[in-house]
Structure 1
Amino acid sequence: MYHFIVLQGENEACVTSYKRFRTWLIHRQSWQSPAASTPFTTGRRCWPSFEFDAVCQRLELDSPTRQHEAAQGREDSTLIRDTSHCDPKKTPKAQSITSSQRLSFMVKAPQQEWMWTAHEDSQSTDFKEIQSDLKPFCVMNTPLASLHHKSALKLAAPSLVNDYYTNLLDCNCNGLLALALDSCVYIWNSETHSVLGRLEPRLEPGLGHRHTVSCLCWSKDGRILSIGTRRGEVQVQLWDVERGQNVRTLPSHMSVVRALSWKQQLVSSGSTLGRIHHYDPRAPAPLVGAVVQQEALCSLQWSPDDEWLASGSTDGLLHIWDSGVMGVARSHQPVATMKQPSAVKAMGWCPWQRKMIATGGGWKDGKLRIWDTESVTCVSSVDSNSQICSLSWTDATRRLITGHGLPHHSAICWEWKLSTLTPSFCLTGHSNRILHVTLNPDASQLFTVGADQCLSVWDI
């Protein structure tokens, strides 16, 4: 059931049902100019409000559709929704708004405070994801072994969310690994093999439970970690890990944040409803631009030269946007669109070939493809015969590494030469699908984390 907020004046609003709103609107249209309204479909929820700035007032709000709420196959997972709702005792009679009146849309985004806990307290975690005796990043007893004599360190990653559409692992240019476990983000030094600490939301009375992290991404200078959550009202959390303090909390989407990517000092976020927002955390009004794709978004990445933005959808569409997306333009269209049979979740720009991007197919497809975004053609493809959950390019050795699901739950290193993809070696040892892969700065170590709740550090 849809709820509508009808604006009565500059600071007044009432909540009414869609049926009553439609009847009232038709009646008003018969003798007066149409009234302004903003649809809300956030689980029948009462939202504490904040006032949008001038840019936000012109943006289309995240509004779930039947298409996006439908099941999207085995790779998708159920979105967490809050079922609490408003039950107003009295709905005042709506009044029309003339075109000369200034509209002030009020949207809900309760602020959740996050806190940093240093290493000395990190071993005494009390949040709910710890369901065994193993602590995050504890060394497992059984070492991993794989083909080509590649050895690995096996660490615990308890309660890692087993969701194909999440992005929960990233390594910055300083070798700091960020891993999200349920609602907390751990920071681990890959050089010293030590936990620096964790970021976690402070549980406030009345909020029910902490936000589950759905994605994270380091800034290119390695100083700021952006975090997106999957709660109905989602903020992008920006952190200066060196100082261990919150830099800024940005109001973002009203649906799950699926991906984050940095363009110099700007951060872009994409929601499961296809909204792409761009923020400048330094500005008083941080929202500087937005575009909308019709399909549910599941991946987002700026090119190494910051000239192009790629967004992948659950419907198998890969969209390429130019740098002009940094502005409010609802009608802005992608400069190129490519199609594959399954969701474009695993995606990555080639560091040394401009306008080349790799994508991996899901369980319905299983093909690894390299696209030329200028000619909008697939220049290389190979069948991996398994679900491709994630991928990462190695700039130093000019290789491509993919993380796979069934049947082998392996990581494969590919060489791309003369438009041909050839497997170089295969890493095995996970007992469930490898959800995320990333590399350290010099590409000497590969980090893989799987649905078996294990983090592996491979010496490659």
Structure 2
Amino acid sequence: MHLFVSFQGPNDGHHVSYRRFRRRIIQRSSSEGPSASTPLATGGQSEPRFELETVCQRLELDSPPRHHEPAQIRHLQGNLHEIELTGSLSHSGDVTSTNTQHTVTTRRWTATENAPEQGWVWSAAIEEHGNAQQADSYERTHALQPFAVLDSTSVSQQGKSVIKLAAPSLLNDYYTNLLDCSCDGIIALALGSSVYLWNSETHALVGYLVPSPQPGGTYLQTISCLSWSRDGRTLCIGTRRGELQLWDVEQKQNTRCLRSHLSVVRALSWKQQLLSSGSVLGHIHHLDPRAPTPLVGAVVQKEAICSLQWSPGDDWLASGSTEGLLCIWDRDIAGVTRSHQPITMMTQPSAVKAMGWCPWQSKMIATGGGLKDGELRIWDTDLGTCVTSAHTKSQICSLRWAEKKRYLVTGHGLPRHQITCWSWEFPSLSPVYQLRVHSDRVLHLAIHSESTKMFSAGADQRFLILDM
């Protein structure tokens, strides 16, 4: 038995079999987004179609429900299709941006205030002998408290002391950057939709940034990256909605909310008081948070950005892509243009997520390969060549240089989830020791520049302190 469905097209009626009708519905819903209970609009017209860039279709975007997200786009010079910042939240006027593929109507934003529409609020750490009722409420909300000591007596097979702390709700995402240590030894760690600040010297929780209450909605922003300013005074938080929030930690207040990108903010890096951010659409924005109009420059990389780092002397900016492209940009960041090109480009077979400039060899940069590669490489950015490499036989998730010990430290995923310390005496690159202290991949590493302490956060939801 065949079921026939009749519907009226724009010019005439058609009779199709149910199987063909169902196939058309599936094809339409997969190409134009989720369909409603009535898949065809009146008159055979469908909703406007929005085509995302290829990388947007490949990578998961954490977008909130449409009714919570206002239009926040401004047409950039050079048709960059990323937001031009004026550091505010109210809007005036509409701008229409058109190209051969699609038309997007956007809003022009003006500088009026910095209070975030949906951000975080500061909460102080609960004292051990504080309000019992408040503590009980906190325990119910956080059954396993962040930075709670799990094991303080364990010693690794290499004779290195290890302290294991809890890191509940740590997002298991290879492309995130959720751990950083300030010059003062304050750890910032994003757990779920909150950021926890912990003093690595006193081993005390300083406080945490929790999502502000949102009337009429429960959507919480997912944090994709964070970074301390070089003076340790400002913490920048990037989200999957393209927002940047800057916090003065000493004053415990939000100083700026910047709607920087139209896509996930994957990486952040500071150049003195200037901040650079990279998005999943390949856009790099250079921002001066002190200025009324913070956007001072922007460039576009061909592929999605997953790492970004200024060199120690601020002479070059390195950006790594999900497709294995490593770009080196010069210090000239002024202007918003597509024409600005990197001075050097290098490639590896997998994403350039683990990346770091050598502190004592200014033109050398190290990169780690993903699961299908597993190669640790050191590049000469002047020549654009790999000067030395080592095969680790495992995914490299994170990478840091330890300047005081003159070590290169890598955090790994499958199959062994190890942390490896390397010695680099040009051109030789050799492992010094290896620690297997995580039961899942080591997503993030941080090193306190003024001490010999190293910190790691893994997909096993553990935060470890290691004495190098």
What's the TM-score once normalised by structure 2's chain length? 0.77
Measured after TM superposition, the shift of residue 254 of structure 1 is: 1.3
Say whether the 8 Å CA contact 2:326–2:346 is kept in structure 1.
yes
Letter paired with 2:123: T
Partner of 2:325: 317
Instruction: Using the TM superposition, give the Cα deviation of residue 59 of structure 1 relative to its aligned residue in structure 2, in angstroms.
Output: 4.9
List alignment gaps of at least 5 residues for structure 2: 1-30, 34-45, 51-62, 84-95, 99-103, 111-115, 128-133
Match of 1:150 in 2: 160
- Residue number in structure 2 paired with 1:458: 466
Alignment map for 1:2-81 (pairs within 5 Å)? 18=48, 45=66, 47-49=69-71, 52=74, 56=76, 59-62=79-82
Are 1:157 and 1:454, in contact at CA under 8 Å, matched by a contact in 2?
yes
Helix, strand or coil for the counterpart of 2:463?
strand
Which residue is 1:437 aligned to? Answer: 445
Instruction: For residues 285-314 of structure 1, give each alpha carbon's deviation from its aligned partner in whole angstroms, at most 9, with x where no partner exists.
Output: 111111111111111111111111111011
- 1:265 maps to 273
Say if 1:128 and 1:167 are closer, same or farther in 2 by CA, change over 3 A: farther
Alignment partner, residue 107 of structure 2: 106
Q: Cα distance, 1:342 vs. partner?
A: 0.5
**1:327-342 equivalent positions in 2, closer than 5 A:** 327-342=335-350
Give the Cα–Cα distance (whole angstroms) in 1 for the partners of residues 208 and 79 of structure 2: 34
User: Displacement, 1:219?
Assistant: 0.4
Counterpart mapping for 1:254-293 below 5 A? 254-293=262-301
Partner of 1:116: 122
2:421 is aligned to 413
Show CA shifts across 1:107-166 (max 9, x none).
Answer: 699821321001127966769984xx3210000047433232001110000010000000
Structure 1 position 408, deviation (Å)? 1.5
Over residues 8-55 of structure 1, what are the superposed CA-to-partner deviations in whole Å (9 max), with x where a residue is unaligned? xxxxxxxx95579xxxxxxxxxxxxxxxxxxxxx89946434584xx8
1:186 aligns with 2:196: yes
1:316-395 correspondence to structure 2 within 5 Å: 316-395=324-403
- Check whether the contact 1:166–1:214 (CA below 8 A) recurs between aligned residues: yes
1:360-409 per-position Cα deviation (integer Å, ceiling 9, x unaligned) = 00000001000000000000100011110000001112110000111221
Q: 1:113 to 1:168 in 2, by over 3 A?
A: closer
For residues 19 and 117 of structure 1, do their structure 2 counterparts lie closer, same or farther at Cα, with a shift above 3 Å needed? Answer: closer
Distance in 1 of aligned mates of 2:135 and 2:387: 48
Secondary structure of 1:116's match? strand
Q: Is the 8 A contact 1:351 1:395 kept in 2?
A: yes
Secondary structure in 2 matching 1:249: strand
- Offset of 1:270 from its aligned partner? 0.7
Aligned pair in 2 of structure 1 residues 172, 142: CA closer, same or farther (>3 Å)?
closer
Q: 1: CA distance between counterparts of 2:335 and 2:283?
A: 14
Matched positions, count: 386
Alignment match of 1:449 (pick from 449, 457, 463): 457
Structure 1 pair 351/128, CA: closer, same or farther in 2 (3 Å)? Answer: farther
Q: Is the 8 A contact 1:319 1:338 kept in 2?
A: yes
Distance 1:111 1:276 in 2: 24
User: Could you say if the C-alpha distance between residues 143 and 62 of structure 1 is closer, same or farther in structure 2, counting changes exceeding 3 Å?
Assistant: farther
C-alpha distance in 2, partners of 1:398/1:119?
35
Match of 1:197 in 2: 207
**Residue in 1 that maps onto 2:309:** 301
Whole-Å Cα distance in 2 between the matches of residues 394 and 215 of structure 1?
Answer: 21
Q: Deviations over 1:330-385 (max 9, x none)?
A: 11111111010110000000111111100000000001000000000000100011
Deviation at 1:207, TM superposition (A): 4.0
Partner of 1:92: none
Match status 1:215 vs 2:225: yes
- Write the distance in 2 (CA, Å) between the matches of 1:339 and 1:277: 22
Partner Cα separation in structure 1 for residue 167 and residue 49 of structure 2: 48
- Structure number with bigger Rg: 2
Does residue 170 in structure 1 map to residue 180 in structure 2? yes
TM-score (norm 1): 0.78
Indicate the RMSD between aligned Cα atoms, in angstroms: 3.0
- Structure 2 SS opposite 1:325: coil
Residue type of the alignment partner of 1:352: W
